[in-house]
Amino acid sequence: MTKTKRTPAGEALTGLILDLFRANSLLLTAGDRLVTSLGLTSARWQILGAIADAERPEPVAWLARNLGANRQNVQRIVNDLERDGLVVFETNPHHRRAQLVVLTDKGRQIYDAAGRLQVPWVNGLADGLSVRDIDVAHRVVTALRAGLKDAGEANE
């Protein structure tokens, strides 16, 4: 059996992917710690952000697609957010069964409070990093996401 060898770029990307896995785990843990006093988790905060940042109310399936997440997981979290009074479901005039998810005033207040907690945390995390380096990292991650999306669509 012959062993396949990674190209130099493939080897470098493998290292980056492993670092991204580790960073994701650390980000989720830090996010949980940051917003726990608000009754949130990183996952709930992320969903609230997707709802708050949407141009108009969206159904769960669209939120999941925009996040690159599993619809069932997003539905479970949205149901929890509804139970806690942070979102409500509204009738979707374009689809009978796919209700729209809308932030309540309480949900907006909690999301805004999370943002206020995030500012000093992210500013501290950015200390020592140049905006240029952050922009380069952002472009690399964006290209990686696009490649993963294209590869996923090609396999469907």
What are the residues facing 100 on neighbouring strands? Answer: 59, 90
Blockwise average pLDDT, block size 10, the chain, 156 residues: 85 96 97 98 98 95 94 98 98 90 98 98 98 98 92 71
Dist CA 140 CA 16 (whole Å): 10
Instruction: Locate the domains of the chain by residue range.
Output: 35-127
pLDDT at residue 7 in the model: 95
Supply the pTM of this predicted model.
Answer: 0.88
Strand, helix or coil at 62? helix
Place of tokens 């996952």: 43
Pick from 31, 37, 33, 22: nearest CA to 49: 31
- Rounded CA-CA distance 85/109 in Å is 11
Q: What is the architecture, at CATH level 2, of domain 35-127? A: Orthogonal Bundle (1.10)
Please answer whether residues 100 and 59 qualify as being in contact, where contact means their C-beta atoms are separated by less than 8 angstroms.
yes
Question: Residue 95's pLDDT is what?
Answer: 86
